[in-house]
Amino acid sequence: MADNCITCDVAIVGSGFAGSFIANELIRLSRLSRKDLKVVILEAGPDVQPNFNAYMKSFYEASFKVPESPYPPAVSDSDENIINPRKVPAGRPSSLTVGGSSWKDPGKAYLDQSTSNRPFKSTYERLAGGTAHWMGLTPRLVPNDFRMNTTYVKDQPPPKNKDLAKDLQSFVDWPIDYNTIELFYEKAEAELGVAADVDEQRFCGIDFRDNYQYPMPKIPPSLFDQRVGQALAHLDDGETQFLGMGRTVTSLAVRSLPAARNSQPYRNRRACAGNTNCIPICPIQAKYDPTITLNEATNNGATLVHHTVASEILVEKGQVSGINYINYGHEGGPKTGCLKAKIYVVAANGIETPRLLLMSKNKGQTPNGVANSSDMVGRNLMDHPQYLSWGLLPQPAYPYRGPLVTSAIGELCDGPFRAQRAAFRVSLGNEGWTTVVGGGAQFGSDPHVTTLDFINGMNSSGLNQKSFSGLADDNRALFGADLTRTLGNLISRQFRIAFPVEQNPDRDNRVTLSSALDALGLPRPKINYDISEYTKQGFAAAFRLKKLIFSKLGATDFTSVPQDDPAAFNVDDTPELFTYGGAGHVMGTYRMGDDPTKSVVDAWQRSHDHPNLYLVGSGTFPTVGTANPTLTLSALALRTVEHIFKNLPSLKS
Amino acid sequence: MDQSRERNTESAEPLTQSWKISRRAMVAGTVATTAVAAVLPLSNLAYAQASNPRQDMVAFLLLSEALTGVNRQTLAPEFSADANEILNSDPGIDPINIKNTYFDWTKTHAEPSLFAKLLQTAEEKGLSQDNIIAKVNSDDDTKFLARSIVLLWYLGSWYDPADLKANASPGTRHAISSKVVSGKAYTQGLVWQIVGAHPMGYSNLQFGHWSRDPHDLNGPNGSPLPLFSAPKS
Mean pLDDT of B9-36: 34
Task: Please name the residue of chain B whose CA is at the shortest distance from the CA of residue A271.
Answer: B207
CB contact under 8 A, A401 and B231: no
3-class DSSP state for residue B78? Answer: coil
CA distances from A344 to A233, A347, A501, A647 (A): 52, 10, 34, 12
Dump strand ranges (E) for A318-385: 319-327, 335-340, 343-346
Cβ–Cβ under 8 Å, residues A249 and A242: no
Please give the helix or strand (H or E) that residue A496 lies within, else none: strand A494-500
Cβ–Cβ under 8 Å, residues A591 and A622: yes
pLDDT given at position A542: 98
Taking chain A (653 residues) in consecutive chunks of 10 residues, what is each chunk's mean pLDDT? 81 98 97 92 96 94 93 89 95 90 94 98 96 97 98 93 97 98 98 98 96 98 98 97 97 98 97 97 97 97 98 97 95 93 98 98 97 98 98 97 97 97 98 91 91 98 97 97 95 98 98 98 98 98 98 97 91 92 97 98 98 98 98 98 86 48
Q: Does A271 touch chain B (CB under 8 A)?
A: yes
Using CA atoms in the order A7, A10, A13, A15, what is the torsion angle rounded to 10 degrees?
Answer: -120
Cβ–Cβ under 8 Å, residues A257 and A427: yes
- How many alpha carbons fall within 13 Å on the CB side of residue A462? 16
Q: Does B159 touch chain A (CB under 8 A)?
A: yes
Q: Does B223 touch chain A (CB under 8 A)?
A: no
CA distances from A194 to A224, A258, A266, A646, B134 (A): 22, 6, 10, 28, 55
Which residues are CB-contacts of B126 (< 8 A; sequence separation ≥ 6)? none
Does B63 score more than 70 pLDDT?
Answer: yes
- How many alpha carbons fall within 13 Å on the CB side of residue A397? 27
3-class DSSP state for residue A514? Answer: strand
CB contact under 8 A, A60 and B230: no
Chain A residues in contact with B164 (beta carbon < 8 A): 456
Query: Parallel, antiparallel, or unpaired for β A10-13 and A39-42?
Result: parallel
CB contact under 8 A, A60 and B183: yes
CB contact under 8 A, A401 and B210: yes
Chain B residues in contact with A558 (beta carbon < 8 A): none
Which residues are CB-contacts of B232 (< 8 A; sequence separation ≥ 6)? B71
CB contact under 8 A, B211 and A222: yes
Q: How far apart are CA A608 and CA A595, in angstroms?
A: 9
Of A263, A274, A438, the CB nearest to B210: A274
Chain A residues in contact with B213 (beta carbon < 8 A): 223, 398
pLDDT given at position B9: 37
The sheet that has A39-42: what strands, in order across it? A303-305, A39-42, A10-13, A343-346, A613-615
Chain A residues in contact with B69 (beta carbon < 8 A): 479-485
DSSP string, B2-36: -GGGG--GGGSPPPPHHHHHHHHHHHHT-HHHHHH
- List all residues of chain B from 59 to 88 with a beta carbon under 8 Å from chain A: 66-70
Chain A residues in contact with B205 (beta carbon < 8 A): 273-274, 401
CA distances from A323 to A7, A88, A311 (A): 11, 22, 7
- List all residues of chain A from 151 to 190 with a beta carbon under 8 Å from chain B: none
Chain B residues in contact with A275 (beta carbon < 8 A): 198, 200-203
pLDDT given at position A386: 97
Cβ–Cβ under 8 Å, residues A381 and A531: no
Which pLDDT band holds residue B229 (cuts at 50, 70, 90)?
low
Cβ–Cβ under 8 Å, residues A491 and A447: yes
Cβ–Cβ under 8 Å, residues A576 and A130: no
Cβ–Cβ under 8 Å, residues A216 and A191: no
pLDDT given at position A626: 98
Q: How confident is the model over B64-97, as pLDDT tens digits?
A: 999 999 998 889 988 887 767 788 888 887 888 8
Does B220 score more than 70 pLDDT?
Answer: no
pLDDT given at position A548: 98
B43-47 long-range contacts (CB < 8 A, ≥24 apart) are B43/B16, B43/B17, B45/B17, B45/B21, B47/B17, B47/B20, B47/B21
Q: Does A143 touch chain B (CB under 8 A)?
A: no
Find, among A596, A39, A587, A40, the residue nearest to A318 by Cα: A596
**Taking all residues of chain A, what is their mean pLDDT, rounded to a whole number?**
96
Q: How far apart are CA B197 and CA B202, in angstroms?
A: 10
Chain B residues in contact with A457 (beta carbon < 8 A): 168, 170-172
Bin A333: left if φ > 0, else alpha if -120 < ψ < 50, else beta.
left
DSSP A574: -
Chain A residues in contact with B68 (beta carbon < 8 A): 479-480, 483-484
Q: In the beta sheet, which residues pair with residue A500? A: A386
Report the length, in residues, of chain B. Answer: 233
Of B129, B178, B230, the CB nearest to A484: B230
Chain B residues in contact with A65 (beta carbon < 8 A): 200
Cβ–Cβ under 8 Å, residues A538 and A571: no
**Count of CB pairs separated by less than 8 Å, A with B:** 195
DSSP A569: E
CB contact under 8 A, B174 and A56: no
Cβ–Cβ under 8 Å, residues A604 and A643: yes
Q: Does B195 touch chain A (CB under 8 A)?
A: yes
Q: In the beta sheet, which residues pair with residue A405? A: A429
In the chain, the amino acid numbered A296 is E
Q: State the nearest Cα–Cα gap between A151 and chain B, in angstroms.
A: 39
Find, among B203, B153, B159, the residue nearest to B177 by Cα: B159
Q: State the nearest Cα–Cα gap between B189 and chain A, in angstroms.
A: 10
Q: Does B205 touch chain A (CB under 8 A)?
A: yes
CB contact under 8 A, B196 and A398: yes
pLDDT given at position B29: 32
Q: State the nearest Cα–Cα gap between A67 and chain B, in angstroms.
A: 13
Chain B residues in contact with A80 (beta carbon < 8 A): 177
Q: How far apart are CA A127 and CA A473, in angstroms?
A: 50
Kindly report which listed range (A54-68, B9-23, B210-224) carries the lowest average pLDDT score: B9-23
Chain B residues in contact with A451 (beta carbon < 8 A): 151, 154-155, 191
Of B175, B186, B213, the CB nearest to A444: B175
Choose the mutation target among B138, B210, B211, B233 for the interface with A, i.e. most A CBs under 10 Å: B210
3-class DSSP state for residue A76? Answer: strand
Task: Please name the residue of chain A whose CA is at the shortest distance from the CA of residue B165.
Answer: A456
In the chain, the amino acid numbered A474 is D
Q: How confident is the model over A560-569, as pLDDT tens digits?
A: 998 789 999 9
Please measure the distance between the N-terminal and C-terminal CA atoms of chain B and give it in whole angstroms: 36
Of A60, A406, A452, the CB nearest to B210: A406
Does B12 score more than 90 pLDDT?
Answer: no
Of B136, B173, B210, the CB nearest to A459: B173
Q: How confident is the model over B157-171, as pLDDT tens digits?
A: 999 999 999 999 999
Of B133, B151, B195, the CB nearest to A455: B151
Quote the percentage of chain B above a pLDDT of 90.
52
Cβ–Cβ under 8 Å, residues A406 and A224: no
Cβ–Cβ under 8 Å, residues A244 and A416: yes
pLDDT given at position A653: 44
Q: State the nearest Cα–Cα gap between B49 and chain A, in angstroms.
A: 34
SS (H, E, C) A375-444: CCCCCCCECCCEEEEEEECCCCCCCCCCCCEEEEECCCCCCHHHHCCCCECEEEECCCCCCCCCCCCECE
3-class DSSP state for residue A635? Answer: helix
Task: Please name the residue of chain A whose CA is at the shortest distance from the CA of residue B227.
Answer: A488
Q: How far apart are CA B199 and CA A447, in angstroms?
A: 10
Chain B residues in contact with A474 (beta carbon < 8 A): 170-171
Most confident of B44-48, B119-123, B149-153: B149-153
Chain B residues in contact with A444 (beta carbon < 8 A): 175, 178
- Which one has a higher pLDDT value, B32 or B198? B198
- List all residues of chain A from 475 to 514 with a beta carbon under 8 Å from chain B: 475, 477, 479-485, 487-488, 491-492
Task: Please name the residue of chain B whose CA is at the shortest distance from the CA of residue A481.
Answer: B69
Q: How far apart are CA A653 and CA A646, in angstroms?
A: 14
CB contact under 8 A, B154 and A455: yes
Q: Does A76 touch chain B (CB under 8 A)?
A: no
